[in-house]
């Protein structure tokens, strides 16, 4: 059994998060992505194995009293080990304790792995944003509603 520690982001994690973002999403724009997470994100959690950062999740509080998962990624060689699930659990817990009504996110319509993860946590597809991504791909909007829970 691997031991995964989920903790708050510290400034020393910057380069690790940058590398994970670069590998997962944007080879050329990772620095801008991380700049956005630090500027607009309300919280970043990282996952550590043997003190090595192997994943992160970023949450942004929105004006409507909701929250949004800005990004979640796990280093390729550590995927499929339950780390994304643990990160998302922590993000959801954080949103609940802050009294958020809903957690929203966007996901590529082709990203079945991430969609499976989100569905497992109770997220439902509530809409589609056409051409959401710079390459023209549509995004599903997914939501986890705490009201009535
Ligand atoms: C999406 C991502 C964060 C998942 O992280 P992970 O650590 O690999 O996920 P976990 O091992 O915790 O798996 C959680 C659930 O996701 C789904 N899942 C994970 N890998 C899967 C695969 N290869 N195929 C289908 N479903 C998969 C399953 O539902 C899984 O639950 P299970 O293990 O009980 O079956 C990871 O794949 C990643 O970094 N992808 C690239 C970045 C990305 O696409 N982020 C999402 C942007 S919206």
Query: How confident is the model over 112-137, as pLDDT tens digits?
Result: 999 999 999 999 999 999 999 999 99
The domain ranges of the chain are 4-145
CA nearest ligand 1 atom 17, residue: 117
pTM of the model: 0.97
Is there an atom of ligand 1 within 6 Å of 70 CB? no
Does the domain at 4-145 match CATH 3.40.630.30? Answer given as yes
Q: Report CA(80)–ligand 1 centroid distance (Å).
A: 6
CA nearest ligand 1 atom 12, residue: 82
In tens, the pLDDT along 9-67 reads 999 999 999 999 999 998 889 999 999 999 999 999 999 999 999 999 999 999 888 99
Give the integer Cα–Cα distance in Å for 5 and 26: 26
Angle at 44 between CA 76 and CA 92, to 5 degrees: 90
Residues in contact with 55: Cβ distance below 8 Å, sequence separation at least 6, in sequence order = 20, 46, 47, 72, 73, 74, 75, 78, 83, 84, 87
């Amino acid at each position: 059994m691997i031991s995964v520690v989920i903790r708050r982001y510290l400034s020393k994690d910057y380069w690790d998060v940058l590398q994970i973002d670069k590998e997962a999403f944007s080879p050329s724009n990772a620095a801008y992505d991380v700049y956005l997470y630090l500027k607009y994100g309300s919280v970043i959690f990282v996952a550590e194995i043997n003190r090595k950062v192997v994943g992160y999740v970023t949450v942004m509080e929105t004006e409507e009293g909701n929250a949004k998962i800005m990004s979640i990624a796990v280093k390729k060689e550590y995927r499929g080990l339950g780390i994304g699930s643990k990160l998302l659990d922590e993000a959801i817990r954080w949103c609940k304790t802050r009294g958020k009504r809903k957690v929203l996110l966007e996901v590529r319509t082709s990203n079945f792995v991430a969609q499976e993860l989100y569905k497992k946590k109770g997220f439902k597809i509530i809409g589609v944003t056409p051409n959401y991504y710079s390459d023209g791909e549509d995004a599903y909007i997914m939501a986890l509603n705490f009201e009535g829970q």
